[in-house]
Amino acid sequence: MQETWRWYGPNDSVSLTNILQAGASGVVTSLHHVPTGDVWSLDEILKRKACIEAAGLEWTVIESIPLHNDIKTRSKDYERYIENYKQSLINVGKAGLKTVCYNFMPVVDWTRTNLLYDLPNKSKALRFEMSDFAAYDVYYLQRENADKDYPAAILSKAKQRFDNMSELEKELLEKNIIAGLPGGEGSYDRQGILEAITEFIQLGTEKFRANLFEFLREIIPVAEEAGVNMCIHPDDPPFTLFGLPRVVSTASDVRALLDAVPSVANGLTLCAGSFGVRADNNLVEMVKEFGDKIHFVHLRNVTREADGSFCESEHLDGDNDMVGLIQALLAEEQQRKALGKGDSNIAMRPDHGHLLGDEIGKTNINPGYSFGGRMKGLAEIRGVIHAIDSLHNRCAVNS
């Protein structure tokens, strides 16, 4: 697998030199300064590509070209935004870039309730606490009928939690949930998020899914012509939030999406942490089933809890079989090589990471994207890859 690293551009606290030092050869980034829905000009793409290459790295994956909400609802100015998206893909292809990761999550992007959760070893992790989320949704945001979306035990715990929160704690919880996270489209205020939630709830799950499929039917032929592979990121977390529709949460969802628009350009970002929050998602089996459509991989791990809460764990700890997953991905690469499918390498990046050492307390670090935590994760993943490759080579020699 090609080892890559997410970079948030020139203002990122992690420099391209840092990324090179960490051992990655590729960069995963976006043109974050371009407003959602605008065309990515060829000049801007080439400028960012040249910056990365000057540091001795390759721009391997675009993550992402964000989709305007009008596309997701197929309302208002969605036709213009789709045409802009097509032109961006054409320009990406002209620049020699081959992979675009994107998501189709409504309103909120990846969501956590605590961005600085204290671990026993004094490092800090990202955490989603179901009772805290319910406390915000039901008692602070006061979304209509929100109480019907949670079991009684969660509502009881949420009410107790809410009653014991200080105003500062409530404000921090709101900021963590709706104020925008790295990779998202921006932030909302309380009234704005209520209006957006209402619009998407009225669509319903199947209409929302149909909108995704219609989007793909329009842009995948353009991506094919441009030589670009699209790879959708799963819902994070992979269950409904705020009563919103979720359409990329399970293997069944992925199967439906790939069947709707059959094309190598219509692919998947296998995010182990997102899919892995659900115990019914078998990551190893998903690699075996969707292997040739997996264009990009996020490797991270989670510890699941019975009520739907989860915490981001060490990369080789947690409830996901990371070694088995890496083994399956390496087997997929070998199969691609045997079939002569060009570059058989699957781009991978260590996703998120604990906040460690002297980075704790710094205010310029994107949540989940510290240098030390991701470097630790990359080193652990690289060790697994090398161990599996070494064992495979020894077995080949001995046979």
pLDDT digits (tens, 9 = 90+) for 32-70: 999 999 999 999 999 999 999 999 999 999 998 999 999
Q: What is the pLDDT of residue 190?
A: 81
Give yes or no for a contact between 161 and 155, defined as CB atoms under 8 angstroms apart.
no
- Angstrom distance (rounded) from CA 322 to CA 381: 9
pLDDT digits (tens, 9 = 90+) for 296-339: 999 999 999 999 999 999 999 999 999 999 999 999 999 999 88
The range of the structural domain enclosing residue 167 comes to 2-398
β-bridge mates for residue 98, sequence order: none
Whether residue 121 has pLDDT greater than 50:
yes
| Cβ count within 10 A of residue 70 | 17
Q: What is the pLDDT of residue 394?
A: 67
Q: Kindly report whether the global pTM for this prediction surpasses the value 0.85.
A: yes
pLDDT digits (tens, 9 = 90+) for 176-224: 988 654 444 556 778 888 999 999 999 999 999 999 999 999 999 999 9
Please identify every residue annotated as catalytic: 233, 271, 298, 351-352, 369
Total number of domains in the chain: 1
Q: Chain-wide mean pLDDT for the chain?
A: 94
Task: Name the strands in the sheet holding 124-128, side by side, starting at the edge strand that comes first in the sequence.
Answer: 114-118, 124-128, 310-312, 302-304
| Cβ count within 10 A of residue 72 | 22
Identify the burial level of 194 via C-beta atoms within 10 angstroms of its C-beta, where 0-12 means exposed, 13-18 middle and 19 or more buried.
Answer: middle
Whether residue 26 has pLDDT greater than 80:
yes
Q: How confident is the model at residue 99 (pLDDT cuts 50, 70, 90)?
A: very high
Q: What is the pLDDT of residue 399?
A: 61
Q: What is the pLDDT of residue 285?
A: 98
Whether residue 170 has pLDDT greater than 70:
yes
Percent of the chain scoring above 90 in pLDDT: 88
Whether residue 252 has pLDDT greater than 60:
yes
Q: What is the pLDDT of residue 192?
A: 83
Q: What is the pLDDT of residue 183?
A: 46
Whether residue 375 has pLDDT greater than 90:
yes
Any idea which of 160-174, 185-199, 363-377 has the lowest mean pLDDT?
Answer: 185-199
| Cβ count within 10 A of residue 341 | 12
Instruction: Name the nearest CA neighbour of 106 among 200, 194, 243.
Output: 200
List the CATH number of the domain containing 314: 3.20.20.150
